[in-house]
Amino acid sequence: MLRRITSASRGQTSAEYSILLGAIAVALVVALVFLGSAIRDQFSSSGNAFNPGQSPGAFTPPVSPSGLTWPKTAADCQGTGWQNFPQFKNISACREYVRGLP
């Protein structure tokens, strides 16, 4: 009789698997709720990083490095002039490039 009781309690039952699966599903939903906005912000900001001078949502294909124009003087970078050079993220990067010219 004791042997029958011990052999019947081996292994996990389908109820235990269901509880475990439910706990994993709840943990995933909670993680998505907390990380969802951060992930959305990363996708939005990465899409806007390629075209800093354009409004959000505008799409212009990237220019190949051989087709880029480069500033020759600091005056080319002044005001919003740096935005004419898509290889620069901001006016400081444009000025830094011009300072390094011979």
pLDDT in tens, 73-101: 889 888 888 888 888 888 888 898 888 88
pLDDT by residue (tens digit) across 13-37?
888 899 999 999 999 999 888 888 7
Calculate the average pLDDT of the chain: 77
- Is it the case that residue 50 has pLDDT exceeding 60? no
CA–CA distance, 5 with 31 (Å, rounded to integer): 41
CA–CA distance, 11 with 15 (Å, rounded to integer): 12
Question: Would the pTM count as exceeding 0.75?
Answer: no
| Three-state secondary structure string covering 8-60 | HCCCCCHHHHHHHHHHHHHHHHHHHHHHHHHHHHHHHHHHHCCCCCCCCCCCC
